[in-house]
Amino acid sequence: MNKNLSFSVHPLTSCPLKSFPYTSDISSLPGVKLSYGTAGFRADASILSSTVYRVGILAALRSLKTQSVIGLMITASHNKVSDNGVKIADPSGGMLSQNWEPFADTLANAPTPQDLIQLIEEFVKKEDISFNGVRPAEVLLGRDTRPSGDALLKAAKEGITSIVGAVATDMGILTTPQLHWMVRARNKGMKASEQDYFEQLSSSFRCLMDLIPSEKSKFNGTNDRLVVDGANGVGGIKLEALQKLLSGLIIEVRNDGENGGVLNEGVGADFVQKEKVVPYGFGSKDVGIRCASLDGDADRLVYFSVLPEGSSRIALVDGDKILSLFALFIREQLSILNEQDLKNSHQAHLGIVQTAYANGASTNYLKQLGLEVNFTPTGVKYLHEKAAEFDIGIYFEANGHGTILFSESLVGWLEARTKELSSKSKGSEVEKAALRLLAVSKLINQAVGDALSGLLLVEVILQHMGWSIHRWNELYHDLPSRQLKVKVADRTAVITANAETVVVSPPGLQEVVNAEIVKYPQGRCFVRPSGTEDVVRVYAEASTQEAADSLANSVAKLVDQFLGSKTS
């Protein structure tokens, strides 16, 4: 598979590229084409070496273009252990700019070394990437616990260092959010080691714990402990290290990968959220105990409690309810500032961001609280971009991926206001509210969804409220829902608008979908093309599970009639 081929010096940029040790694993597989999306590139690990090498080149070029530190993470998150993947963290710690995704696609799918060289040279010229900038390319590397990670890390390093002067820094085995946090911190001029990450989370958690009102009831009995399913991945390992710095919280980690468990097999947030059953290692002994589940690379988090009437059944507390808990807490602190702080010159704008997949009951609940709810197309990149428009933007998907974003101007105002208040009215409710918001901005990972930081924030808010997981889960009751896939020859035939809730093409499809929806109490349904495969996805809600199933099946048949497809 390997073939050495020296790059020539680019005539315009004088960019000396060293060698090309990987021929394309993908081009030899008929019908296989990689597409860069929210997850980056993912596939069976055995065919990813050339792709990871090429993404290493992309990361180095991105670093040169932005004159910033870039991240490269090797992970396949909640996929099976034989898979792996690779994705880029941009200077903000967020995902790769959407403008570079087409280049990533063509780079990964270039069939020959000559095609690859030509593609890179044309892109360097188009983007006006200079190799004589102030700083050379620098890329931070991370990987999860998959056995294929070491070999792919080597390929990534070779891709990065094929750009002369580029530096590849191996940060070790990490959660995906840790790497994103490190990139963001480095580009802000902050310390960015794993220990720095742990210390920032633990110190801000401690600050919030110290600010819990004394009159609020504390947990006792079984409620003083949390049992966490680590998905046999990297998250459980890191949580065990982090909890050594914590006080006021008892955490037991199961499925930490140390006792022969298989990554994501019958465990993890994706399994728990989709199947709504206990992960491996949980059962009747855990009835009444607060439980949480991470996914394989610890960027998703869901909570659950084991139901007494059957040791395999659970009451799921998903990302929608995590969002609702965070929104309640943030709203409470902002209300104190807005109503009691006479010198509040910064009336913070709080915005909630969801996709159409959010359960309708959660959206109704948030709106009843008087909160502004915005919708975006499916995909973290859209949610994150919209949340960044607010002073405080909260987004979460039902699958447990989400975070809270704070504007730089609000954080600056909070820092100044807390200093002023501490010298004049130390211990006032206004000062406490400002300190809480400031601590949340440091505890939550603003680069990307982070199961570890999210878990700590959930725990401190529950203690602040004096709530059990059962009280939290009673905020609202989800409407029954059903998701289906309809196989199609060409998913691009379906075009949507209004955050993917309305079909504009093919003509007439939305009208017949609307006619079906009105037949069902509390009915809601939308169809959208998949971003990764030739299927159209159908989502339906209604007042009963039978009605939701019926609505989904009826709409799937309509999609089949319009597109000549087959339901699966």
Greatest Cα pair distance, the chain, in angstroms, is: 72
Q: Is residue 143 part of an annotated ligand binding site?
A: no
Each residue of 65-90: pLDDT tens digit? 999 999 999 999 999 999 999 999 99
Q: What is the pLDDT of residue 5?
A: 32
Q: Which of 24, 49, 77, 481 is catalytic?
A: 77
**Which residue did the predictor score with more confidence, 131 or 418?**
418
Region 136-163: mean pLDDT is: 96
Q: What is the pLDDT of residue 68?
A: 97
Q: Residue 349, exposed/middle/buried by CB under 10 A (0-12, 13-18, 19+)?
A: middle
Q: Report the 10 Å Cβ neighbour count for 326.
A: 23
Q: Which two tokens stand for residue 49?
A: 């070496």
Question: Which residues, in sequence order, are bridge partners of residue 73?
Answer: 87, 142
Q: What is the 3-state secondary structure (H, E, C) of 328-393?
A: HHHHHHHHHHHHHCCCCCCCCCEEEEECCCCCHHHHHHHHHCCCEEEECCCCHHHHHHHHCCCCEE
Q: Which two tokens stand for residue 432?
A: 């406490």
What domains can be seen in the chain, in order of their start residue? 41-173 (3.40.120.10), 210-314 (3.40.120.10), 320-452+465-473 (no CATH), 481-567 (3.30.310.50)
Each residue of 364-389: pLDDT tens digit? 999 999 999 999 999 999 999 999 99
Region 282-299: mean pLDDT is: 95
**Which residue did the predictor score with more confidence, 7 or 131?**
131
37 in helix, strand or coil?
strand
Whether the per-residue pLDDT at 218 is higher than 80: the answer is no
Each residue of 395-442: pLDDT tens digit? 999 999 999 999 999 999 999 989 988 877 678 899 999 999 999 999
Whether the per-residue pLDDT at 8 is higher than 60: the answer is no
Question: Which residues, in sequence order, are bridge partners of residue 250?
Answer: 225
Percentage above 70 pLDDT, the chain = 91
Q: Compute the distance between CA of residue 190 and CA of residue 170 in angstroms, rounded to an integer.
A: 18
Whether the per-residue pLDDT at 44 is higher than 80: the answer is yes
- Under the banding of pLDDT at 50, 70 and 90, the label for residue 565 is low
Residue 141: which H helix or E strand, with range?
A: strand 138-143
Residue 481: which H helix or E strand, with range?
A: strand 481-487
> How much is the pTM?
0.93
Strands 83-89 and 69-74, how do they pair?
antiparallel
Each residue of 481-506: pLDDT tens digit? 999 999 998 889 999 999 999 999 99
Q: Is residue 500 part of an annotated ligand binding site?
A: no
Closest CA to 14 of 133, 168, 167, 138: 133
Q: What is the pLDDT of residue 177?
A: 98
| Among the ranges given (63-77, 218-232, 323-337, 435-449), the one the predictor scored with the smallest mean pLDDT | 218-232
Q: What is the pLDDT of residue 16?
A: 42
246 Cβ contact list (under 8 Å, min separation 6): 202, 205, 206, 456
- Average model confidence (pLDDT) across the chain: 91
Each residue of 186-210: pLDDT tens digit? 999 999 999 999 999 999 999 999 9
Q: Compute the distance between CA of residue 227 and CA of residue 265 in angstroms, rounded to an integer.
A: 18
Residue type for position 102: P
**Which residue did the predictor score with more confidence, 322 or 535?**
322
335 catalytically annotated: no
Q: Is residue 105 part of an annotated ligand binding site?
A: no
